[in-house]
Structures are given as structure tokens and as C-alpha cells.
Amino acid sequence: MSVALIRPLVVRTVAVSDPRNLLTRLPAAGPYAWVRHGEGLVGWGEAARATVPPGPGRFQWAREWLSSLFGDARIDDEVGMPGSGPVAFGSFTFDGDAEGSTLVLPRVVLARRGGRAWLTTIGDDPFDAVTPWLPPGRIRYGDGTLTAPEWQHTVARAVRKIKTGALDKVVLARDLMATAEREIDIRVLLSRLAARYPECYTFSVGGLVGATPELLVRHTGQSIESLVLAGTTARGGGPAEDAARGAALFASGKDRYEHVCAVASVREALTPLCSALDVPAQPELLALPNVQHLASRVTGRLSDGASVLDVVAAMHPTAAVGGTPTGTALNVIRELEGMDRAGYAGPVGWIDARGDGEWGIALRCAQISGDRARLFAGCGIMGGSDPAAELAEAQAKLRVMQYALEG
């Protein structure tokens, strides 16, 4: 089902002076964001919105809805860069059969990239006043679907399944509930996340807010890029411990095999779409403020006119957020997690009228509603996983959104 609020779309994109901090330009109501190292896009208002029907054809439905919307638009774009002209922000649920996937075309998009900045507007007088920011105040936490001991028990059950040979890996998520003293201003969370985790993609779509380190796909013309993360350890207390932890992660057979599985799933998904694909032979170490990851940057060139949503459809879910083999892992997730992930670990990002865009995996995130937040984290479980260690890893990942709430 979809509702277009302004139709036909009259879209105008003009070059503007450098806004510097994109996030400071956002009004309070329904902000949209995709920002890394101060560059990216922010938006507000709604020119059109679609609730994407669940099911195996949801990405195709989304592409066709956008094609119809963009095809009918009157577009005046003097910038002509990826992200100029009409742009839709989107969030898809992890489970393809779950409801909640959304596409929104903001009335205003402000962008900054490669030394240039531009403003896209749809319709007349689309601007909203920027109101003062108010921190959420004191935060109280409560258990999510499972308590910490219950989640450890679930991890142990998954390990036993893996040791039977039924699968190689499954990613198990846990949630944590938070209640704030005041209604949560998403702009405060975005600002804190962008400042503390500049290497990540700070995002906001439909109340799903986070800072993900994992780029599912960047699509520019026929070129695509994906950053695969699998294998994690916490940061150390100082440079020496940090280096030792990184070296141990790189030498870990369990983590290296987990990473191999994740890279293989991306290669398998992209090969049919690409005329050329470059997959690194060895991962690198990606250090973030709270954790270190094994990382592989995969690049390729598309063989036809596939849009970024076609690539997203082919890649989701990757082994990094589902498991190996994918079908078996998804069944185990449904059996053991006992919760609806909603948008957690699903694709989140933006697409323009040319089919270009950037989509990440919604990690290190929370679903915000009023004064409530539901925080998510997940861990790749292998045959050699230790439940206590996996719980510690999940807690380290949850600290990203706890920091965003607490400051």
C-alpha cells in the first residue's frame, strides 16, 4: 500500500553553500539521515511514502513503485550527482515475510559530498523550523525478549546445532528496552553517533536510528562497492592491549572462518550481476571506538542497468547477519531468537532516480518511539563459540546506542 502526498512531483535541485554540519539543519519531526565523515544526505517532510508489502517480491515492488513515482516527476536538477534530484530513504525488515518495510520521499533533502553541496525541494514552501534540541534525560533499562542468562542459553543451543553439522554459522540477536525521562529527540542521537563514530554510517529512517559500520552496497553508475564485516573483538584498555586483541582476532580460526563465510555469500550474490568483481584474498582490521572487526572491501562493475535495489535484493541477507547456509540459519533464527527483529540487520539507506544509492545493514541501532527505545545487537555463532564471550560481544555492541541515549 502506498500514499503519495504531492503529485505530480515537482522536484528542484540547486547548488548551495557548504552547510558544514548537515544534522544541525534538521527539524525535530521525522528526520531522515545518511551521514559519514560529515558527508551524505539529510531530509525531512514527506512528499510520498510507501509501506512495502512483505514477501519474496518486496524489492521488485519497491523498485516499480519508485520507477512510477520518479517517472511521473518533473525534475529540474542542476547538480547531476548521485543523491541529487528526488531521493527516497528506505528501511526493510530483516525477515522478508515481516511487515514494516518503508520507503519515504522527503520534501526536502540537503546533501554534502566531495566539496559540493545541494538542496532538493518538492512542492511549495516545504521548509520546517529548526527547534531547540532537548536531551532525553535519565535512561532506565529493562530486559528485552530474553534476559542475559536466557540469551546465553540460546547461544549454547545454537552451538549444539552447529556441532551436529546442520549449519556452519548462525547470527543471533538480542534486544534491550530503554525508557527515557523525556520524549527522545532523534537529532540528539544522530549528533552523538556521528561525532563518536565518524567511520560509520549514521542513519535515521522511520524511527530506526543507528550508526552502522557495514556498507551493504554503494552503487554509482555501473560501479558497486560492499564492505563485509564478520569477526569481532572488543577494543583494549590501551594501545598494547588493543594491538594484542587485534592480532588475536586476526589469528582466530573461528573468526577467520566466520569472515570467509560472509565474504563467500557476498561473492555468490554479486557474481551473477557483475561483469567484473574484485574480492580481497585477506581481510583487514577495522578499528572502531568500541570494537574491532575483520573487514573486506569488495568492488565490482555491473553487467547491466541494475539499480541499487536490485543489488540489495540479491545480497540480503548476507552470512554476516544471517548465517551459513542461509536457509538453514534463518530457520534456526526463527526457532531460537523468539522475537521480531523488525528493521534490525535489514537493509537501510537511500536511492535516487538514476538507481544510484548507498545501503547499509542496520546494525548498532534502536527503534525509537516517543520516550521508548528498543536497542539491538547480534553475534555470529560458530561451533567454537563461548556463550559468555558472545554475551560480552553483544553488550559491547549495545553500548553504541546506550552512549547515544546517555551522552
As annotated, the active-site residues are 169, 214
Which set of grid coordinates corresponds to residue 222? 555501473
Q: How many CB atoms lie within 10 A of CB 118?
A: 23
* Residue pointed to by grid coordinates 560501479: 223
Helix, strand or coil for residue 95? Answer: coil
Question: Phi/psi at 124 (nearest 5 deg)?
Answer: -90, 145
Integer Cα distance of 351 and 70 in angstroms? 11
**DSSP characters over 209-231:** EEEE--EEEEEETTEEEEEEEEE
Cα Rg of the chain, angstroms: 20
* Residue 162 contacts residue 381 (beta carbons within 8 Å): yes
Helix, strand or coil for residue 181? Answer: coil
Q: Which residues contact 96 (CB under 8 A, 6 or more apart)?
A: 54, 55, 56, 58
Which set of grid coordinates corresponds to residue 69? 513515482
DSSP 271: G
Which set of grid coordinates corresponds to residue 225? 562497492
